[in-house]
């Protein structure tokens, strides 16, 4: 049995401000106008003979994003494992292997990050088929990308003795400087490290027991102590906290005697930073080598990547820049130093700035909301509720709300007094109609219609933080304070 495992735990900090903690790059349409990177990863499984529906490992904050994006493709994951926090790939794959052994006696696991681009899915499938032969011979297989440039942004794998359709792994090496990368490229003995793997579940766990038994023991404890939550399995936070954070390369692949590498050239990129996005979009660049998206005007400019989401961006007389505009942040960087964007994100995190975590538009299992105006004493939001979806039954201690429907039909449930759960009444609001939710009133918003419900919410009060939410009932199984811990949740 071939069971794909899609790892969707990354934050994509080097693609800030478009990629953020609450909505990282794997959920964005960075390589396609139709599909996100996660959807592309799931879609290429159609080319893998015998591949089952994928098992997903993701951060618990992203569980509804994962489920909704796959559901929109008609894919029901075999399992979705929710990590309370990241512990890198070695523990994540231990959790996946343990889950896989509850599905099949000893499945072959095809491990793929959710945030990679592979242009030639058929070439990828052919490499996987070669890898299966080595797995049958007892190998733990990784896939090496045949390098097209002396790239300094990737780790490398040196090939060893030849095997059937591949090589033994000579060694793994870190991201090199320019001189070393050129040496690797010229030698022909090195591949880019793709981070894609193929192995038997039991073999992976057995080798992990030999070389990183502490990771295995902690992962097993966290898995056993996990709990079911709708269609998800929540990994236990207390037990996982005892597990050290380590990649599969460091924990196992550098030590095992059974590491093999299959070379492939499927048009791969990990699009880890904006320079990689430029390379992807260079095929559609203008005659001056500028790759643009959105409302952009350029004059006397060349070799730039300019991305606009909410307003006109104009640039004059500049070369080799990355200019990224979102509703609440603008990044300007030398294109050749785009990898260093992560240092800005680290500063934002140290300063506890919300711009590193959430966008102005925040996604929830029922739809999304967007902050439009935020001032002393009042706040204005656009709220969009998907057809058939429902916000939680809730109340607020410090703010009142006024709702105006601008599209669709709203079903409003509202109490008749401060905190009252008795005598709840429900009524419908159509376009151009409104209602007022006094401070402390129990309320709920639903979309009973067939089109998205859009409304404008005006909040008033001395304190407007979204941790002022008491969730009384929720169809999505969220805890009373979930989604509000960063003071930007809603409903």
Here the tokens at position 229 are 């939550």
Structural domain contains residue 482? no
User: Are 221 and 367 within one domain?
Assistant: no
Last residue of one domain, picked from the residues 246, 269, 292: 269
pLDDT computed for residue 486 by the predictor: 42
User: Are 312 and 327 within one domain?
Assistant: yes
User: Are 407 and 385 within one domain?
Assistant: yes
Last residue of one domain, picked from the residues 344, 373, 391: 344
Last residue of one domain, picked from the residues 248, 269, 290: 269
User: Are 375 and 311 within one domain?
Assistant: no
Structural domain contains residue 488? no
User: CATH number of the domain that 131 lies in?
Assistant: 3.90.550.10
pLDDT computed for residue 488 by the predictor: 42
Structural domain contains residue 420? yes
Structural domain contains residue 349? no
- A 10 A CB-CB count for 480 gives 13
User: Are 279 and 264 within one domain?
Assistant: no
Cβ–Cβ < 8 Å for 262, 141: yes
User: Are 307 and 214 within one domain?
Assistant: no
Cβ–Cβ < 8 Å for 233, 227: yes
pLDDT computed for residue 483 by the predictor: 55
User: Are 279 and 235 within one domain?
Assistant: no
User: CATH number of the domain that 438 lies in?
Assistant: 2.60.120.10
User: Are 308 and 401 within one domain?
Assistant: no
How far apart are alpha carbons 491 and 477 in whole angstroms?
Answer: 12
Cis previous bond, 17, omega within 30: yes
Structural domain contains residue 350? no
User: Are 242 and 124 within one domain?
Assistant: yes
Here the tokens at position 412 are 């409003």
Half-sphere exposure of 93 (CA within 13 A, CB side): 34
User: Are 130 and 201 within one domain?
Assistant: yes
Here the tokens at position 365 are 């299992």
Q: For 187-258, where are the E strands, in sequence order?
A: 190-200, 227-229, 232-234
Q: Spell out the residues 6+ positions from residue 267 whose beta carbon is closer than 8 angstroms to its own.
A: 117, 118, 119, 120, 123
Instruction: Convert 100-126 into a string of H (helix), E (strand) and C (coil).
Output: HCCCCCCCEEEEEECCCEECCHHHHHH
Structural domain contains residue 352? no
Residues with pLDDT less than 50, the chain: 484-488
Structural domain contains residue 252? yes
235-249 in b/e form (b: 16+ CB < 10 A) is: beeebbeebeebbbb
How far apart are alpha carbons 87 and 120 in whole angstroms?
Answer: 31
Q: 445 in helix, strand or coil?
A: strand
Q: How many domains does the chain have?
A: 3
According to DSSP, residue 9 is labeled -
User: Are 253 and 175 within one domain?
Assistant: yes
User: Are 228 and 311 within one domain?
Assistant: no
Burial of 100 (0-12, 13-18, 19+ CB in 10 A): buried
Q: 68 in helix, strand or coil?
A: helix
Structural domain contains residue 447? yes
Q: Which domain holds residue 294?
A: 274-344
pTM: 0.87
CA 189 to chain centre: 33
């Amino acid at each position: 049995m071939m069971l794909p495992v899609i790892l969707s735990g990354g934050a994509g900090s080097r693609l800030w401000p478009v990629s953020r903690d609450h909505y990282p790059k794997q959920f964005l349409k960075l390589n396609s106008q139709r599909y996100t990177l996660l959807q592309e990863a799931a879609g290429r499984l159609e080319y893998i003979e015998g591949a089952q529906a994928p098992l997903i490992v993701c951060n618990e904050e992203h569980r509804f994003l994962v489920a909704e994006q796959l559901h929109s493709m008609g894919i029901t994951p075999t399992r979705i494992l929710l990590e309370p926090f990241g512990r890198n790939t070695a523990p994540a794959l231990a959790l996946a292997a343990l889950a896989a052994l509850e599905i099949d006696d000893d499945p072959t696991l095809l491990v793929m990050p959710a945030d990679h681009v592979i242009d030639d899915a058929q070439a990828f499938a052919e490499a996987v088929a070669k890898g299966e032969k080595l797995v049958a011979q007892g190998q733990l297989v990784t896939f090496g990308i045949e390098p097209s440039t002396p790239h300094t942004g990737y780790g490398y794998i040196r090939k060893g003795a030849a095997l059937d359709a591949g090589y033994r792994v000579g060694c793994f090496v870190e991201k090199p400087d320019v001189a070393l990368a050129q040496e690797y490229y010229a030698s022909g003995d090195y591949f880019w490290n793709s981070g894609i793997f193929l192995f038997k579940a039991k073999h992976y766990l057995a080798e992990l027991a030999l070389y990183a038994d502490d990771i295995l023991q902690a992962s097993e404890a966290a898995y056993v102590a996990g709990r079911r939550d709708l269609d998800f399995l929540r990994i236990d936070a207390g037990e996982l906290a005892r597990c050290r954070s380590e990649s599969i390369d460091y924990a196992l692949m550098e030590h095992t005697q059974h590491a093999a590498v299959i070379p492939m050239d499927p048009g791969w990129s990990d699009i880890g930073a904006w320079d990689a996005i430029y390379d992807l979009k260079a095929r559609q660049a203008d005659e001056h080598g500028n790759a643009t998206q959105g409302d952009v005007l350029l004059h006397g400019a060349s070799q730039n990547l300019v991305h606009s989401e909410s307003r006109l961006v104009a640039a004059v007389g500049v070369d080799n820049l990355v200019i990224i505009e979102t509703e609440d942040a603008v990044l300007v960087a030398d294109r050749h130093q785009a990898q260093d964007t992560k240092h800005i994100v680290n500063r934002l995190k140290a300063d506890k700035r919300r711009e590193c975590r959430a966008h102005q538009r925040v996604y929830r299992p029922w739809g999304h909301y967007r902050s439009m105006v935020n001032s002393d004493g009042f706040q204005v939001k656009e709220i969009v509720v998907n057809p058939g979806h429902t916000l939680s039954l809730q109340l607020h201690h410090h703010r009142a709300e006024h709702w105006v429907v601008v599209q669709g039909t709203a079903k409003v449930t509202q109490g008749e007094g401060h905190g009252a759960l008795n005598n709840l009444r429900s009524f419908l609001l159509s376009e151009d109609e409104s209602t007022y939710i006094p401070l402390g009133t129990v309320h709920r918003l639903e979309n009973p219609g067939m089109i998205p419900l859009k409304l404008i919410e005006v909040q008033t009060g001395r304190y407007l933080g979204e941790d002022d939410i008491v969730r009384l009932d929720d169809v999505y199984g969220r805890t009373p304070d979930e989604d509000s811990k960063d003071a930007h949740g809603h409903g």
